Amino acid sequence: MTQVTAAILRQDEKILICQRDNSGSCPLLWEFPGGKLEEGETLAECLVRECQEELGVTIQVGEVFAESRHTYGDKEMCFTFFEGRIVEGELERTVHQDIRWVRAEDLGRYTFCPADVEVAERLGKASKMVRIVLK
Ligand SMILES: Nc1nc2c([nH]c(=O)n2[C@H]2C[C@H](O)[C@@H](COP(=O)(O)OP(=O)(O)OP(=O)(O)O)O2)c(=O)[nH]1
């Protein structure tokens, strides 16, 4: 089974989302930065490497936010979403069509890869709950 890691990078109450390019799987859909696990690395190492490659930044990997499984075509994929934050570097767009910082409650405006839909919904709901509690 293919293992994929993805990062929920937060900054100033926003979350970084990335639009895949129009080739490969999930063309033009939005995702959280990350990618496929390579042999010999841990999930956290994979995520640090992918963020460096795709965004030119070093991240600190935090807690697991969610895990999910999804079958794309005939490939079963296992996703681990981690909390994270950028600790070094300036964001650059190298492989994505677009990258954006978005408020959690606005994630619903974007069409995510199927494996991310529930995670994006959960992030949106959590931000609304925080607002209700703070009122
Ligand atoms: N990085 C990332 N990939 C995701 C997310 N959600 C989701 O379904 N995916 C899928 C898209 C890809 O099929 C796979 C990640 O592959 P990748 O980003 O390392 O590599 P890739 O473009 O070469 O993938 P592929 O087209 O060969 O499948 O997981 C997500 O939030 N982040």
Q: ipTM of this model? A: 0.94
Cβ(8) to ligand 1 under 6 A?
Answer: no
Residue 123: the pLDDT is 96
Residue reference for tokens 């994006």: 120
Residue 77: the pLDDT is 97
Distance (Å, whole) CA 37 – CA 1: 11
Closest CA to ligand 1's atom 27: 24
Give 76-94 pLDDT, tens digit per residue.
999 999 999 999 999 999 9
Cβ(51) to ligand 1 under 6 A?
Answer: no
Which CATH architecture is the domain 2-134 placed in?
A: Alpha-Beta Complex (3.90)
Centre a 10 Å sphere on the Cβ of residue 28 and count the other Cβ atoms it contains. 12
Weakly modelled stretches of the chain, pLDDT under 50: none
Nearest CA to 56 out of 14, 89, 18, 97 is that of: 89
Three-state DSSP at 79 gives strand
Residue 127: the pLDDT is 78
| Domain residue ranges in the chain | 2-134
Cβ(32) to ligand 1 under 6 A?
Answer: yes
Distance (Å, whole) CA 110 – CA 119: 13
Nearest CA to 66 out of 47, 79, 52 is that of: 79
**Mutate-to-test residue for ligand 1 from 69, 113, 118, highest number of ligand atoms within 8 A of CB:** 113
Q: Supply the pTM of this predicted model.
A: 0.94
Residue 134: the pLDDT is 67
